[in-house]
Each structure stands twice: as C-alpha cells, then as structure tokens.
C-alpha cells in the first residue's frame, strides 16, 4: 500500500502534468510556423448579392480571426455618409459582423475592400484583399479602371493613396473634391502603387488621387497630396492611367504679425516668398527705417525698425506682387536684440562650401580693412564678399586649397549692424582636407531637353549637391563627399531654376523628375572619378 504522503505526492504530480499539458496546446516548440491564412466558410447575405436590403452582414471563417488597422485598410466604394459598425475590434471571433447604418442608394453597387485587415488570431496571417460586394439593384456593376500612382518628387510613392472617380456630368465642377465624397473609390494599400477601381458602371469620369491625411475623402490642400488625370476618362476602357501625386504650394500669404523683441516684429507667411514691402501707416511716425530678413528655419519674416516708436498702435500695409493686406497692430515691450556674429558652419569645409558669417541683427556695413584672412603659413588669402540680405549672411568666397588651415580675424568695428552696434574682436578658423578624400562624378545626359536641374540627394530626398544645365548635357560634380547618392533630373520647363509643384484648380501638373535607376553607379568612393550616362525617357 502507498503511504499517505506518497499518495499526496502522486496527486500533485498528476495535477502538474495536466496543467502543463493544457498550457502546451498549440504549435510545439520547434514546429513549423502556421502560415495558412484563414478561409471563409460562408457569407450572409451571399457575396455579390443583388436587390440587397439587409441591415447586417456576417462573414464566417474556419478559425478565429481579428481585424487589424481597419481605419487604414478598409475602403467602402462609394463612401457612406454614416459609416457602418464593424466588429469585433480588438478581440477574436469566428465571424465578422457589418452593421449598416447608412441609407443605401437605389440601383447602386457597393464594395467593401478590407485590404489586409482580416488576420487569423495566432500568427496574424492575412486574408488578402477580401472584397464584399452587393447591389441594391438588379445587377452588379462590373467595369473597372486601372492604373498606377507615382510621387512627383520622391522615388517611391506613399502608402494608402485613395484613388477616386467623380461622375463628369452637368453638375460636376472642379471644386467638388473639396466638399463632396467621390462616386467610386479604391486605394493602393501599403506596398503597391498599382490601383484598380472595381464594380463601376459605364460613364464619363474625372479621376483624382489623394494622400488623404484626414480620411474624409475630400481634398484639404494644407495637409493632403493630390494628383489628377488631365481631362476625363470614358468607361469601359482598356487604358491604364498614371497619376503623379504632389503637395500643392499655397499662394503667397502673410499672416497677423506679433512682437518678438523691442524693435522687431514677426510676420509669418506661407507659399513661395515674394518681394515684400511693408509700410507703417501713422501720421505720428516720420522717417521710420526698416529691414526685412527671413528666419532660417521657419516661414517667417522679421521686420526690424528704428527708431523706437512711442505710439500704442498703428496699421501695417503689406504688399507683394500677388498679396495686399492691412494689419492693425498694437506695439508691445520686449527685450532688445544685440549683435552676435557666428559662422554658419565651422570646422572643416568642403571644396563646394563657402565660409559664411551670420548675425542676430541685420548687417548694415562691413569694413574689409579690419578683416584679415591668413593661411597656415600666415600668408594673406584674398577673398570676395557677397551679402545675402534676406537671410542676413556675409559669404566670403575663397579659392580653397587642399590640406590647409585658415584663420580669420575681425577687428573691432569691422561689422556694423542696422542699429549701429559693432563687433568686438572676433577670431574664426576653418580648414580643408585633401582632394583625395573626395570623389567626382560626371553625368552625361542623353535625350535631355535643356534646361534641367541635376541633383544628388540622400535617401530622404534632401539635396546635397545641385547643378544647372542650360547649354550642355554634361554635368560635373567635383570634390563631393564619398557616400551613396540618389541622382535625379528636374525638367525646368519654366526656366526658373527650381522645382515647381502642381496646382489642381489651375490644372498645372508638377514639373517632371526622373531618377537614375542604378544606385551602384552613384556610390561615390574617395579619390575616384565616376562617369554616369543617364538616358532620359521622353514622356
């Protein structure tokens, strides 16, 4: 016979084995990972039903599923004014329930595009691109429009681009996209640039693409990117439609000013900065002088004025080529600005750099007799000075030599600012490396319609080097940092030496940008000369 203590021990051991066995159910350690997506066992009402009048839809699966990223993934075409309630959210279930809250339009085909939002509960294997379709009429619309979305500036397009069709009937106006949801819609999901708008009826349409940041299927120009196909499309069609997505540059506009220092007022603005004149309107203020500079990080203008004003308020008339507005302004006290001069970039300069000084107050004049620039052998180095008034910078153009150290001394009163304040003695230094530390690229452009802007950028599109080609289709980038570059060409159609984005209402497409396809050819190494032949394809 077992002793009492032995019986207790065996009972505990059996209990432990039972608990462990229950806890170990599922995929054993080291077993194959489940990569099978869930399967639909039934749908009620059936998918592709006609004369649909149900208030609830259920989709049943062979295993527990859950819904992931529904807000991003789900597209309902045409959009519903009152969105349906879809469950379960955050939990697992054997079925998905769609509770319809909107009043459905008669004789209309509706499509629920779930993208990759339906996944199994354990491994999150997706049921890819599930679509539930029904019609409130006798037939299911079966036509489609296909194409691709590209980004006008970047090498790759953003994910989740909404592509929309508006009926081009007698009630259509271009402004409809600002206030009304489209007739049909799809999206590009997270990894594809191709789109297909399914289950549409024959007709004439306008096609528009949006990076819809607010998720409301209407165009908000301050936040959304937009693209459009010029003219209309007629369905049915066998054509594919390529759309370039761009961020509109707003028209130049100045906003309400504010006091930021004792004799400095900030005027925020948006759009491309134009030449601006600001006139103070007050009979009690005579001979007021001012300078305008731009903040180097934000879209703001600084209005520096002298002498101090003794009135409480006045009006400012702000005028540019396309903008005029009068602002009522109340003067406030603030701290006084003082002159501080610093180099824009210190340390080692590349051979494409220019030694530059900037200041906390506007530059007024410079006395070169009080400025000395010498090299490592204490020999005087010649230079030329250029003033960038809007950014308030003095550029010292020097023929830089390799492996050289430079020292600059500014004696007192070498620089005078707008308020008459002068500098104390200032000393700056900078140096250069060997030419062999850098690389060179020559770009031969084939089929180039000049002028073009040729740029070397980083992976995020930041421009690191830029050249303008208006006479010869050969561009040299000399003494550039060794690294991986992206090479792109901007077709400068209006010859203003910068990229111009599009405008939807004015029916202006963005200027074309072509990317060089082979990144290995633009991986610059030190002390090497590279030659790249970039064949541009005509559109």
DSSP codes joined into one string, 310-348: -SSEEEEEEE-SS-EEEEEEE----PPP---EEESS-EE
300 domain-assigned: yes
* pLDDT-derived band at 283, boundaries 50, 70, 90: confident
Output phi, psi for 462, to 5 deg. -70, 130
Query: Quick one: 387 and 481 in the same domain?
Result: no
19 domain-assigned: no
27 domain-assigned: no
Query: Quick one: 241 and 147 in the same domain?
Result: yes
Tell me whether the omega of the peptide bond preceding residue 461 falls within 30 degrees of 0, making it cis: no
CATH code at position 497: 2.60.40.10
* Planar angle of CA 164, 168, 173, nearest 5 degrees: 90
Question: Which of the pair, 23 or 30, is modelled with greater confidence?
Answer: 30
Helix or strand or coil: residue 21? Answer: helix
Write the pLDDT tens digit of every residue in 154-190.
988 888 899 999 999 998 999 999 998 898 999 886 6
For residue 74, the enclosing domain spans: 40-135
Q: What is the mean pLDDT of residues 375-379?
A: 96
Reading the block at residue 160, the tokens are 């989740």
Return the percentage of the chain with pLDDT > 70, whole number: 93
Give the β-pairing of 109-113 and 131-135. antiparallel
444 domain-assigned: yes
Which residue, of 214, 245, 276, is where some domain finishes? 245
Half-sphere exposure at residue 409, Cβ-oriented, CA atoms within 13 angstroms: 9
* Planar angle of CA 367, 341, 349, nearest 5 degrees: 95
Q: What is the mean pLDDT of residues 1-27?
A: 45
CATH code at position 353: 2.60.40.1220
The predicted pLDDT at position 8 comes to 45
6 domain-assigned: no
The predicted pLDDT at position 26 comes to 43
**Can you tell me the distance from the alpha carbon of 409 to that of 407, in angstroms, rounded to the nearest whole number?**
7
**Can you tell me the distance from the alpha carbon of 52 to that of 65, in angstroms, rounded to the nearest whole number?**
26
Query: Quick one: 365 and 290 in the same domain?
Result: no
Helix or strand or coil: residue 267? Answer: strand
Reading the block at residue 415, the tokens are 């620089």
Q: Which residues, in sequence order, are CB contacts of 505 under 8 Å at separation 6+?
A: 174, 175
Tally: H helices and E strands in the chain: 2, 43
226 domain-assigned: yes
Query: Quick one: 447 and 429 in the same domain?
Result: no
Query: Quick one: 148 and 240 in the same domain?
Result: yes
Query: Quick one: 229 and 300 in the same domain?
Result: no
> Residue 389 pLDDT > 80, yes or no?
yes
Which residue, of 245, 271, 296, is where some domain finishes? 245
> Residue 368 pLDDT > 90, yes or no?
yes
Number of domains in the chain: 5
> Residue 27 pLDDT > 70, yes or no?
no
The predicted pLDDT at position 35 comes to 79
Query: Quick one: 240 and 147 in the same domain?
Result: yes
> Residue 413 pLDDT > 70, yes or no?
yes
Token pair 């997706």 is at which residue?
126
Distances from the Cα of 180 to the Cα of 71, 211, 269, angstroms: 20, 16, 29
Half-sphere exposure at residue 399, Cβ-oriented, CA atoms within 13 angstroms: 3
**Can you tell me the distance from the alpha carbon of 523 to that of 439, in angstroms, rounded to the nearest whole number?**
10
In the β-sheet with 341-343, what is the strand arrangement from edge to edge?
341-343, 355-359, 393-397, 384-388
* pLDDT-derived band at 140, boundaries 50, 70, 90: very high
> Residue 153 pLDDT > 80, yes or no?
yes
The predicted pLDDT at position 302 comes to 98
Q: How many CB atoms lie within 10 A of CB 539?
A: 7
Entry pTM: 0.82
Query: Quick one: 126 and 153 in the same domain?
Result: no
Query: Quick one: 282 and 360 in the same domain?
Result: no
**DSSP 8-state secondary structure symbol assigned to residue 28:** P
**Can you tell me the distance from the alpha carbon of 374 to that of 146, in angstroms, rounded to the nearest whole number?**
65
Query: Quick one: 201 and 290 in the same domain?
Result: no
Token pair 């002088």 is at which residue?
289
Q: What is the mean pLDDT of the chain?
A: 91
Q: Find residue 515's DSSP bridge partners.
A: 488
Write the pLDDT tens digit of every residue in 431-479.
999 999 999 999 999 999 999 999 999 999 999 999 999 999 999 999 9
* pLDDT-derived band at 287, boundaries 50, 70, 90: confident
18 domain-assigned: no
Closest CA to 439 of 522, 520, 519, 516: 522
Reading the block at residue 407, the tokens are 């020292």
> Residue 7 pLDDT > 60, yes or no?
no
Give the β-pairing of 313-319 and 463-469. unpaired
CATH code at position 151: 2.60.40.1120
289 domain-assigned: yes
Q: What is the mean pLDDT of residues 241-256?
A: 96
**Can you tell me the distance from the alpha carbon of 337 to that of 265, in angstroms, rounded to the nearest whole number?**
12
* pLDDT-derived band at 286, boundaries 50, 70, 90: confident
Which residue, of 265, 298, 330, is where some domain finishes? 330
What are the E-state strand segments in 168-323? 184-187, 194-200, 203-211, 225-228, 233-235, 240-245, 253-254, 258-261, 264-270, 277-281, 289-294, 300-306, 313-319
H or E element, residue 366: strand 363-366
The predicted pLDDT at position 422 comes to 98
Q: What is the mean pLDDT of residues 345-374?
A: 96
Q: What is the mean pLDDT of residues 297-318?
A: 94
Q: What is the mean pLDDT of residues 404-432?
A: 97
**Can you tell me the distance from the alpha carbon of 219 to that of 173, in angstroms, rounded to the nearest whole number?**
14
SS3 content of the chain, % helix, strand, coil (to 5): 5, 45, 50
Q: What is the mean pLDDT of residues 115-136?
A: 91
Q: Which residues, in sequence order, are CB contacts of 151 under 8 Å at separation 6+?
A: 157, 158, 225, 244, 245, 246
Sign of the four-CA dihedral 193, 210, 175, 152: negative
The predicted pLDDT at position 191 comes to 62
């Amino acid at each position: 016979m077992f002793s009492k203590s032995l019986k207790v021990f065996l009972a505990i051991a059996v209990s432990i084995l039972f608990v462990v066995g229950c806890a170990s159910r599922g995929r054993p350690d080291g077993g194959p990972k489940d990569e099978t997506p869930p399967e639909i066992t039934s749908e009620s009402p059936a998918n592709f039903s006609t004369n649909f009048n149900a208030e609830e839809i259920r989709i049943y699966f062979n295993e527990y599923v859950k819904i992931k990223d529904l807000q991003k993934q789900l597209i309902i075409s045409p959009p519903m004014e009152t969105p349906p309630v879809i469950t379960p959210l955050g939990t697992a279930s054997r079925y998905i329930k769609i509770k319809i809250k909107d009043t459905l339009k008669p004789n209309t085909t509706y499509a629920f595009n779930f993208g990759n939002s339906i996944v199994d509960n354990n491994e999150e294997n997706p049921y890819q691109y599930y679509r539930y379709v029904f019609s409130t009429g006798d037939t299911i619309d079966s036509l489609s429009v296909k194409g691709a979305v590209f980004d006008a500036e970047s090498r790759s397009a953003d994910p989740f681009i909404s592509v929309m069709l508006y009926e081009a009937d007698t009630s259509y106006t271009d402004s409809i996209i600002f206030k009304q949801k489209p007739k049909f819609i799809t999206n590009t999901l997270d990894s594809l640039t191709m789109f297909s708008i399914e289950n549409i009826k024959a007709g004439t349409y306008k096609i528009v693409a949006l990076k819809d940041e607010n998720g409301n299927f209407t165009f908000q120009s301050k936040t959304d990117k937009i693209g459009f196909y010029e003219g209309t499309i007629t369905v049915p069609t066998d054509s594919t439609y390529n759309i370039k997505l761009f961020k509109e540059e707003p028209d130049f506009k100045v906003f309400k000013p504010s006091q930021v220092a004792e004799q400095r007022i900030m005027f925020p603005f948006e759009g491309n900065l134009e030449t601006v004149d600001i006139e103070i309107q007050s009979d009690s203020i005579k001979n007021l002088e001012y300078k305008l500079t731009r903040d180097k990080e934000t879209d703001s203008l600084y209005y520096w004025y002298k002498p101090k004003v003794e009135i409480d308020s006045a009006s400012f008339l702000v005028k540019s080529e396309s903008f005029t507005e009068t602002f009522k302004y109340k003067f406030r006290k603030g701290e006084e600005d003082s002159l501080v001069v610093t180099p824009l970039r210190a340390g080692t300069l590349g051979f494409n750099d220019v030694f530059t000084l900037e200041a906390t107050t506007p530059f007024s004049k410079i006395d070169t007799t009080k400025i000395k620039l010498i090299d490592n052998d204490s020999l005087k180095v010649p230079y030329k000075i250029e003033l960038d008034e809007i950014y308030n910078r003095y550029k010292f153009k020097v023929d830089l030599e390799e492996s050289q150290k430079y020292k600059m001394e500014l004696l007192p009163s070498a620089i005078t600012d707008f308020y008459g304040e002068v500098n104390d003695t200032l000393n700056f230094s900078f140096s250069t490396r060997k030419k062999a530390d850098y690389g060179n690229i020559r770009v031969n452009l084939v089929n180039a319609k000049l002028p073009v802007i040729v740029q070397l950028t980083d992976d995020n599109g930041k421009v690191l080097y830029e050249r303008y080609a208006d006479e010869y289709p050969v561009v040299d980038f000399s003494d550039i940092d060794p690294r991986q570059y992206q090479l792109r060409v901007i077709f400068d159609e209006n010859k203003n030496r910068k990229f111009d984005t599009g405008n939807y209402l004015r029916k202006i497409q963005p200027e074309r940008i072509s990317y060089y396809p082979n990144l290995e050819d633009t991986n610059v190494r030190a002390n090497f000369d590279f030659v790249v032949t970039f064949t541009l394809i005509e559109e």
